[in-house]
A = this chain, B = another copy of it.
């Protein structure tokens, strides 16, 4: 049985980690209360992506925190990750589901209200509402949903949802108040002076 908690979802970005190792950020984040970790790499070789995945899987296992791979189904299969997160420019969801199997977590980013409605029909496990606010880490996205958009998607979504994009201590509680099941963050943890404390503080906002 798949069980996961979208509450506080860390999406990694080595470029935003102030030179600190990926494992340090991830372990501190998990100690601070992160409930899911997505390994997102856009520029490295397949070998390096694979090696990072293997290392994070080993690191996360004792914490029972699921490891999700961004975009690359081959890396998810190769490291036997807990799941895959795809966007609208990645492999079609039905291809991903077929190759991933029914026991793995499959997440899909929705970038418009139409895509959110469409996602209700799909055999996926959660949706990412992306982006909530404008953010420098994603430049290829549609208009931000805003708080109103999170509320609208949450009210119609059949799948659990996690909100992503520009979420931090200043707005996390507001985002959750719209009906989101969790928040995904990048720089709010990876660029924090103390990633563990940043995660703890965010977790507090999420759990109220």
A interface, CB within 8 angstroms of B:
45-48, 50, 71-75, 77-78, 86, 88-92, 95, 99
Which residues of chain B come closer than 8 Å to A46, judged between CB atoms? 71-73, 86, 89-91
List the number of copies, as a whole number. Answer: 2
A48 to B91, CA, bound (A): 8
Q: Which residues of B contact A71 (CB under 8 A)?
A: 46
The prevalent SS among residues of A at the interface is helix
In the bound assembly, the distance between CA atoms of A47 and B46 in angstroms comes to 17
In this complex, the member of A50, A74, A77 whose beta carbon has the largest number of chain B beta carbons within 10 angstroms is: A74
Chain B residues with CB under 8 Å of A50's CB are 91-92, 95
Contact A47–B92 (Cβ < 8 Å): yes
